[in-house]
Each structure stands twice: as structure tokens, then as C-alpha cells.
Amino acid sequence: MHVSDLPIGVFDSGIGGLTVVRQMRRALPNEDLVYLGDTARVPYGTKSPATVVRFACEDTQFLADQQVKAVVVACNTASAWALSTLERRFDLPLFGVILPGVRAALAASRNRRIGVIATPATIRSQAYTRAFLARDDSLELVVRDCPLLVPLVEEGWTSGPVTEAVLREYLAPLLQRRIDTLVLGCTHYPLLRATIAAVAGPEVTLVDSAERCAEYVAEGLRQLGRLCVGRTRPGRVLPFVTDDTRWFDEQAAQFLGETPDPASRVALPIIEMR
């Protein structure tokens, strides 16, 4: 079997990374995908850097053991803190979600005032700030951590008065600074897109890191000669989780836009960090 025929591995702290898988299914319909959601330890966005790095190494080791040809870190928090460690530890092409979002926002903004909303851990990492300013240090960046948005999505409250009130509170300082572009810096946030758009108003362009990540992976694999160009059958999605499969199986379609095969529950390899 040629390496280009192997599946692509994708992991996230939980179920949010399926929004990346959804876009990858559109961009790369014939690729097989192995998805890992670390649902026993979700969320990552409120945990410390050292813990996020350790969890991300264990997730990547699991995918490497499944013989994947590349790994997509479909979690902004893990991309922010762990990508460089993963690149040192694993001999596999690795793709994060931050860089593609940054590129898309730079292309979209006209007034050079860009907002980023993300989990506390992602914001604390300054990964977005550093990636933006390395490309254009004249930008005005307004970042905000939004710890309630992941729980709201997981509760299923993607619209309605409570979610609008939370978003008005979180977005107020960004809108006061008149941003024209807003990066949804967490793979859960695409499910709030309509409500975020309503609160942010029509002058603000929303950049969905999930969507941009899929294009970035397609481009990267093409450059590496690892696209499975010969396959004509539709690709498959093989889901794994670390907690009970039932909740995942019930919720997955909402994120993925199609019903995946039933998930399998797995124990992850344990990695001791030094």
C-alpha cells in the first residue's frame, strides 16, 4: 500500500473537530479519515499548557499507531500550545487550525482591525497574536477568550436569548473597536455562526478556521504528493472516542452534517512528559 492511500488522522478534545472533518469531506471527498475525540478529558481550552501538550501527544500517538499519513490538529487550543512539540516528536506531516485562519483573515480585512474569539488557553498562548503580527505588525488585533461558548454549543443552545446575551457581552469590546473581520478561533464556534453573525452585524466578515483548515490540508498534502489521487470510491470516516460512544454518536451528525459510522471507545497510550 502506498503512503498516499493511508487515511488522514484528525483529533480534537471532543466533538468540535468534526466541523473540520465536515470541511475536509468537501475538499477531499475520497480521503479516508480517522477521527479521535478525547471526550473523557474534554475540554482542553480551560486546562494548562503542560496538560494540553501531554494530551495532544497521547492523541497523536494513538493516530500514529493507526498508520495515518498525516495528522490534523483540529483543535485551536492544541494547535496553539502543542504543534511545535508534536513536530519534534512525530515523523508525520502535521497541520494545525491557526495558520489557515490567520491567512484568511488577513485576506478578508480592509480596515486592518481584526478580532479573534477563542478558548482561554488559546488566547493565553498568544498563538493568534504572534501569527498575525509576524505577517503584518501594523494590524490592530482585539482578542477575547469566551469560556462559555463551548458549553453553550454542547448544551445545544446555538441560538436564543441566552446565547445572544452571552455573545453580546463577549463581542462588545471587539465591536467597539470596529473590527471588520472576526476569526472563530475554536472548532465549536461554527455551530454558533448564525448567532455570531446576527450579534456582530453585516459589516463583520466571519472567518471559520475549520473551513480554511481543510483547504490548507488539501494544499499541504498535494505538495507532499500524499493525496490519494487514484481512488474513486468515497472516503470513509472512522471515529474513535475516549468516553462513552453513545453521546458522540447522537451528537456527531449535528457537527458533521452527515451520520458517521458508530464510534469505538479506546484507551489512549500514556506518555510521560519530561
Q: Which are the catalytic amino acids? A: 75, 186
244 binds a copy of itself (CB under 8 A): yes
- What are the grid coordinates assigned to 143, written together? 482578542
Residues 6+ apart with CB under 8 A from 237: 21, 25, 32, 33, 35, 256, 260, 261
Measured CA to CA in angstroms, residue 200 lies from 29, 162, 171, 182, 193 at distances of: 33, 16, 7, 9, 10
β-bridge pairing 8-12 and 205-208:
unpaired
Residue 246 is a binding residue for a copy of itself (CB under 8 A): yes
CA–CA separation, 154 and 184 (whole Å): 16
Q: Which of 243, 249, 257, 266 binds a copy of itself (CB under 8 A)?
A: 243
Task: With CB under 8 A as the rule, give the number of residues binding a copy of itself.
Answer: 29
Q: How many CA atoms lie within 13 A of 119 on its CB side?
A: 27
Q: Which of 4, 27, 30, 49 binds a copy of itself (CB under 8 A)?
A: 49
Nearer to a copy of itself among residue 40 and residue 224 (C-beta): 40
- With respect to a copy of itself, which residue has the nearer C-beta, 40 or 107? 40
The interface with a copy of itself within residues 119-178 (CB under 8 A) comprises: 147-148, 150-152, 154-155, 157, 161-162, 165-166, 169
- Piece of 44-52, 73-81, 133-141, 193-201 that binds a copy of itself (CB under 8 A): 44-52
Least Cα distance to 38 among 255, 267, 253, 238 occurs for 267
Burial 227-259 (b: 16+ CB within 10 A, else e): bbeeeeeebebbbbbbbebeebbebbeebbeee
Rounded least distance, CB 13 to a copy of itself, Å: 11
- Closest to a copy of itself by CB, 143 vs 214, is 143
Q: Closer CB to a copy of itself, residue 139 or residue 148? A: 148
Contacting positions for a copy of itself (CB under 8 A) = 39-42, 46-51, 147-148, 150-152, 154-155, 157, 161-162, 165-166, 169, 242-244, 246-247, 270
